[in-house]
Structure 1
């Protein structure tokens, strides 16, 4: 599947997840810069990565719920299989993106700041 197809199937919650992913990437790069330059990472950066690692799956779950609502609405009408497939695709794309953002945020927190 082409990336454009995935993005077009994703729905409105996906945009929020994209913004979160850019912020996580910024924080990971900033933490790596701090680690290289100063030998340690500020606690506030690590706390933000932890918070985003917890928030991202919840936002993905919101997108999943949104997509499943769309799928059931398509099914309840005239049983449109295309609408059903689009709703399920939206749900899965948002779930995957939420998990991806969380894994990157949590992994960055562990590898750049060490475990507590």
Structure 2
């Protein structure tokens, strides 16, 4: 299943938890998961850092992102928990309608010293 490049499960009523089978998709470039609730499995954030575009905007995901450096070019996230760390590869970071807590990363706030190329807005469709 490594040849699948685009996966859109945004309207998949059967998919309420992050499917374990996603971990087998090594060549994925775009992932849209809608309607997910609960905690993301421990493997998910490391695995998803290799995907270029991730849309998790229509979810009820809870819990902290582990100390993982999110590396996707486009991140559209919605969940409750601690603000994740972002790599300098991130170009679009949409965190509208979230319940983040904890310190705001210098990646977002310290404009003079940050080493990133955030852009936006960027369509995810």
TM tier relative to shorter chain: under 0.3
More strand by share: 2
State TM-score, norm by structure 2. 0.23
Larger radius of gyration: 1
Structure with the bigger percentage of helix: 1
TM-score (norm 1): 0.24
